[in-house]
Structure 1
């Protein structure tokens, strides 16, 4: 992420890690993941980010419109109403287009299992233990990330019943974040809501970084 930001900040001084991850959450980019779950950004990802950020800054376009442009480009098209002077990114790979599609829509249990390569029994257990929560029978990209992680953990003998503490910890973290941003969420204007969402993402990233550092610190002691 640091390298991505260093390449972008020459042209976009205010870009932050939370901003990039927000664009990922909205389905505009989908960096690859290492087996350990870390994001891997390619030159094409950075090119796509430049395109999105430029349309936001220079054309004042909402993300919904920018996403429509990106989806058209992913299909190999050049949108007719693309603003003059806007340079579109290269078309993404079929796999990346599939990942982006999943991020932008809800999926059925069958599609979720296919994407995560998970057995139906595992999916049922994750629902029963509250680790994923379908809405009207459909799941979102966060549910997909949870299932993929649990599939990997299961290969090490860690079952869903062992993971309920993660759900409890996530709820506690959310309460902490909500408390911290309450001065912003109490306001009704759009700018305050946007700042609240940005602050919540930054706090969440800080909490995750703290958790990772604490766990890795304990793991390193195993070698001592």
Structure 2
């Protein structure tokens, strides 16, 4: 039986005057801070008893401002501290009782902070790495699942060992896709396409990275980041276009 999240916004919990919103609106509100969040992720957190939106007579979810803030707090604990859901639930219960909680130190500097701090001189700094047990806890997956994903090349350790922050994101997305019945063997084509796109970006920025001028080398990193973002947007648009044509 699912637990009702202590302090969450259960049925009838929204204060008078609070505007209840749909799950799509919640997604839009969270996307600025959590661009990787999905509707399936929100539904998963609900299924785990971490948030309890109200339901209309026809069964549609309706979220209060308190629900949205609770979701944001959960996502921050996952992103910044790599806490498993069990620990997050305990922290939320403690906060609901008015207790103080102590969160572990953030796992390491983010890619954005590193990008801003690097001036192009010397070796590029790297974000803190996670061990295997930390990755399993952060992505909320089993050892068997992780080993399966590694066998298909979807997950790999970084040079020198350990896993970087992007690997945690990949693991979470693979897990989310798995809930729709997509297995690692189905995702090999996606990985191959990503490798090809990365190769195209590398062709463009490689000459800039070899330049003697530190500012030019720094520009190479900014260019690579921009090209990667455009590539992701193009990929998403092409998928949506292809789906639209098939549904006509």
Give how far 1:143 is off: 0.8
In the alignment, the residues of structure 2 paired with residue 37 and residue 220 of structure 1 have an alpha-carbon distance, to the nearest angstrom, of: 21
In the alignment, the residues of structure 2 paired with residue 182 and residue 200 of structure 1 have an alpha-carbon distance, to the nearest angstrom, of: 9
Q: CA RMSD in A?
A: 2.5
8 A contact 2:40–2:176 mirrored in 1: no
Q: Cα 1:122–1:142, aligned 2, differ >3 Å: closer, same or farther?
A: same
Give how far 1:126 is off: 1.4
Deviation per residue, 1:153-191 (Å, 9 max, x gap): 111111111111122212211111111123312312211
TM-score (norm 1): 0.56
In the alignment, the residues of structure 2 paired with residue 193 and residue 122 of structure 1 have an alpha-carbon distance, to the nearest angstrom, of: 39
Structure 1 counterpart of 2:209: 185
Structure 2 counterpart of 1:105: 128
Q: Cα 1:37–1:196, aligned 2, differ >3 Å: closer, same or farther?
A: farther
In the alignment, the residues of structure 1 paired with residue 211 and residue 39 of structure 2 have an alpha-carbon distance, to the nearest angstrom, of: 39
In the alignment, the residues of structure 2 paired with residue 166 and residue 176 of structure 1 have an alpha-carbon distance, to the nearest angstrom, of: 16
Give how far 1:118 is off: 0.9
Which consecutive unaligned segments of at least 5 residues does structure 1 have? 1-29, 39-92
Give how far 1:222 is off: 4.6
In the alignment, the residues of structure 1 paired with residue 243 and residue 152 of structure 2 have an alpha-carbon distance, to the nearest angstrom, of: 27
In the alignment, the residues of structure 2 paired with residue 153 and residue 141 of structure 1 have an alpha-carbon distance, to the nearest angstrom, of: 19
8 A contact 2:81–2:107 mirrored in 1: yes
Deviation per residue, 1:5-59 (Å, 9 max, x gap): xxxxxxxxxxxxxxxxxxxxxxxxx932422599xxxxxxxxxxxxxxxxxxxxx
Of 127, 142, 146 in structure 1, the residue corresponding to residue 170 of structure 2 is 146
8 A contact 2:132–2:163 mirrored in 1: yes
More helix by share: 1
Bigger radius of gyration = 2
8 A contact 1:109–1:137 mirrored in 2: no
Q: How many residues align?
A: 141
Which consecutive unaligned segments of at least 5 residues does structure 2 have? 1-31, 42-75, 83-105, 111-126
Structure 2 counterpart of 1:155: 179
